[in-house]
Amino acid sequence: MRIGCQTFTWEMLGPAYRGGVADMIDAIAEAGYAGVEISNNMIGGYDRDPDGFKAVLVARRLAFIAYAFSVPSGFTVAEEQDADLAAAAAALEFLSHFPDAVLSLGCPTDVRGIGDIAAVEQAAKVFNRIGALGQERGIPVAVHPSSHHGSAVVTRSQYERLMAETDPALIRWVPDTGHIIRGRQDVRETLSLFADRIIYVHLKDADRSGAWQMMGAGDCGILDVVAHLRQELGFDGWLVAEEESPTAETDPTAAIRANRDFLLQVGS
């Protein structure tokens, strides 16, 4: 299995992070990862300079796994959907320069308090339209549920509604072990239930109280999850390590190195 790294470990620092894109990419490459997932919040001007970003990755021998894309509306504000679609179209234009990368859409977030059912229904309309745009360009589009404040997709019933409302031919799924357990779900059971939608997997850890933990220190059972993906589900795609624990806030570079060392137990 190929193992990559998500840049949210730095993004969660907000203004406290004073480095640049190259600093994050250097840290990921030096830690021994094979690829990177970066968000539209962290990519800086490179979203308008795909050749420049490609050069950054090539110089460090890193694959571009996915572009994590979110919008202020959380995809749930009807009057913002045209703007959301236009922004997604621009993201797809950027990704057209990277034939193997995925557009990963952020979780429906109920920014207006319309309720999780209405929020998922609205977001699904936008997601399906973005998925159709991606299909026209040959770019896979997926959704990444989370458990952060305002998320409308946390519990099992909310996952089921999201899957029902989105077209499986257009929208794949990026499961996240940490967010699944924070929604009081069983990780392996959830992966099995929606296995046909998985395109790549986020690995991070949390305990059953919902507190983020360094990889291997929580209750997700990361190594058992990877074995389940491989042996029971036949999954052989990207595993993307992501770290949100308090430990990572003090030293993101050390945290992602520790995670890479931990994941040596599952392969290169």
Q: Give the model confidence (pLDDT) of 201-248 as tens digits.
A: 999 999 999 999 999 999 999 999 999 999 999 999 999 999 999 999
| 112-127: pLDDT as tens digits | 999 999 999 999 999 9
Query: Chain-centre distance of CA 161, in angstroms?
Result: 19
pLDDT bucket at 267, cuts 50 / 70 / 90: low
Write out pLDDT tens, residues 176-194.
Answer: 999 999 999 999 999 999 9
Return all residues near 201 (Cβ < 8 A) that are at least 6 apart: 174, 175, 176, 177, 191, 229, 235, 237, 238, 239, 240
User: Mean pLDDT across the stretch 35-50?
Assistant: 97
b/e per residue 96-115 (b: at least 16 CB within 10 A) = eebeebbbbbbbbbbbbeee
pLDDT in tens, 73-103: 999 999 999 999 999 999 999 999 999 999 9
pLDDT surpasses 60 at 268: no
Q: What is the mean pLDDT of the chain?
A: 96
With a pLDDT cut of 70, the percent of the chain lying above it is 99
pLDDT of 265 > 90? The answer is: no
- Give the model's confidence band at 23: pLDDT under 50 very low, under 70 low, under 90 confident, else very high: very high
The residue type at 157: S
Compute the average pLDDT of residues 254-263: 96
Domain-wise residue ranges, the chain: 3-266
Architecture category of domain 3-266 in CATH = Alpha-Beta Barrel (3.20)
Q: What is the pLDDT of residue 1?
A: 76
> Do 125 and 153 meet the contact criterion of CB atoms below 8 Å apart?
no
